[in-house]
Amino acid sequence: MSVGLYRYSGDINDKNTELIFSENISSEVFYQRYWVKAICESKVKLFKDGCDFDVGDLNIIMSELNALGAWATENLSGIDLKYMSERIENLKSVLPQACKCKGGKFYIF
């Protein structure tokens, strides 16, 4: 299992809505081991499992991703640091483009 970032064409609960964007954040095991701690210690509010956010929140999300990257640099090493850093950098590169598409909120689950 994994934790991902998703965006739908409309209300997530509407059976006719379509998935228009998806991006893997992390494996579930890695997320629970490192991302949860990083989110807590970095005081991240929006970019976490179970949350949703709008296009207007992009600046906050990018700032939170920067904080998570700084946490990873300070607290991880080796392959764990490489994995988390690559995931964060990927998210920072794809999110601005994903915000240009018409659609509803972003969801993390």
Report pLDDT digits (tens) over 14-27.
999 999 999 999 99
Average pLDDT, the chain: 96
**38, 55 Cβ separation under 8 angstroms:** no
Give pLDDT tens digits for 26-64: 999 999 999 999 999 999 999 999 999 999 999 999 999
Could you give the CA distance from residue 3 to residue 29 in angstroms, rounded to a whole number? 9
C-alpha span between 24 and 3 (Å, rounded): 6
Minimal CA–CA distance to 50: which of 99, 102, 5, 101?
5
H or E segment and range at residue 99 = helix 78-100
Break the chain into its structural domains and give their ranges: 2-108
